[in-house]
Structure 1
């Protein structure tokens, strides 16, 4: 099947060697991806009536379909329908929340190239409507997780646009974000961390 981006460019999966595949398999055996961990945590929240949060589906426009048999159809060409916004959204305590989840293998910083301009704009629009937008970043090599408020992401993004560094350092995460300590059930209790961020924001408003 051929899948194309909205501009018509063909989507080509990254090719890996046998050695790379074995390496990836070994890595996956050591732990699940951030997406897996978040999906399981969201299922826990839903089952306990804590929150309703889901991963957004990727919009795909089907262009060509072949029918090798009357009882079977096969998609042969499709396009990503539109640039994706963020990974997850939902409702918690009457508040709309919207966030992007990212992983990095670097040990000292998170490259801002992992985020797109339209995602920054989307999170900005969410906050304008009194929603809560943020990032969840996993330093996979260090097994450390951070909930990053949108205002922090925006400030580092603007710094980059004015010629500053093109990443957020680990030290900056430690200073401006809330770290999530992985547990058992749920694996990532990111709403607990988010609660701390929202309480801090409310205190600033009251002052």
Structure 2
């Protein structure tokens, strides 16, 4: 099925300022990465968080406008072409401990950097707006060849994005990601325990607020 953004641009699926590096687990479980896509792993993790009443986070539904439909059988209809009614923003949003959570999930086979072309202007601007209203925004990055996961805060992504628009780097160096991002190790339940990193972000934000009131 062909799905496109408004204006006809093709949609590319995600499946294809103090910061600190943080290791969220000491050892990777041997069952890591059983062939699931990043989206499936995050969805599974969100199911676990909801079941355990830890957080309510969902993948955002995106309304589409159907353009072409084929009927190979009388009892079945197959959508062959559709358009997003509005440009997609980020993949997931919800609530955790009273904080609005909004994030995107991306992966690459590149071993040395994460290409910024994997992001869209409207996604970055959406995160910029959410941050301005107190939301916690980030990107879960997977280097599939290395089988490593990181949480990149949106504030950092925006810095790289704005620099790119000024003829700067068109990618984020892996070395920089290692130094400044939260590394997430695979778990069992949840599969991707990304809220451990979010918890550290919340602690930092609350500590900053206390300093402001001193």
TM over 0.5: yes
Q: How many residues align?
A: 192
Partner of 1:151: 155
Indicate the structure whose relative CO is greater, using CA pairs within 8 Å and at least 6 residues apart. 2
The residue number in structure 2 matching 1:115 is 119
Cα deviation for residue 5 of structure 1 reads 3.7
For 1:170, which of 165, 170, 174 is the aligned residue?
Answer: 174
Inter-partner Cα distance in structure 2 for 1:162 and 1:12: 25
Residue in 1 that maps onto 2:58: 54
Who wins on radius of gyration, i.e. which is larger? 1
Cα RMSD after superposing both structures: 2.5
Of 73-82 and 180-189, deviating more is 73-82
159 and 77 in structure 1: CA distance in 2 versus 1, 3 angstrom threshold: closer
User: SS of 1:136's equivalent?
Assistant: strand
Is 2:65 the partner of 1:43? no
Note the residue ranges of structure 2 that are not aligned, 5 or more in a row.
14-32
Of 184, 192, 199 in structure 1, the residue corresponding to residue 196 of structure 2 is 192
Q: What CA distance in whole angstroms lies between the structure 2 residues aligned with 1:191 and 1:33?
A: 19
User: Could you state the TM-score of these two structures normalised by the residue count of structure 1?
Assistant: 0.82
Task: Compute the TM-score of the two structures, normalised by the length of structure 2.
Answer: 0.79
Q: 3-state SS of the aligned residue for 1:6?
A: coil
| Residues 105, 57 of structure 1: alpha-carbon distance in 2 compared, 3 angstrom cutoff | same
What stretches of structure 1 of length at least 5 have no aligned partner? 14-28
SS of residue paired to 2:123: helix
> How far apart are the structure 1 equivalents of 2:70 and 2:9?
21
Q: Deviations over 1:34-74 (max 9, x none)?
A: 11110110000010001111111232112455778886655
Q: Distance in 1 between matches of 2:64 and 2:83?
A: 6
